[in-house]
Amino acid sequence: MQVNTETKPYDSINVTPMLDLAYVLLVVFILMTTASVQGLAISLPKPSDKPSTEKRDLRIVQVMPGGALLINGAPVSLPELESQLQAAFARDPKLSVAIRGDGRANYAAVVAVIDLCNRLGIDMALVTSRIGT
């Protein structure tokens, strides 16, 4: 019996088992991903059937950079603003005020308008803009 002592180098590598493993892993990954997405159960709130027909009075108070005040575009002083808001609140107790302070405005003027709305018991909101606009 003769033993072959000569060894030949391999000319190519058999990649079939490696490709089989890659395909099996790909299929398992696809199945697990779709199974987890389809398995989510979310209970979303339902909107009411009636649209809101209630109208509320809205006043827009702007605080300009120099401290000047505008109500719906008309210039006013702080005492005039107080009297106008009191009159509007007497007509509509659900009055809302949107306070729009300029970025360069004196912060004390914005705080004065906020304090005025708090003292009168009027609902208020601060108006902002998106960053970059």
Report the DSSP pairing between strands 74-76 and 96-101.
unpaired
* Res. 12 pLDDT band, cuts 50 70 90: confident
pLDDT digits (tens, 9 = 90+) for 81-112: 999 999 999 998 888 899 988 888 888 888 99
Going along the chain from its start, the domains and CATH numbers come out as 58-126 (3.30.420.270)
Average confidence score pLDDT of the chain:
82
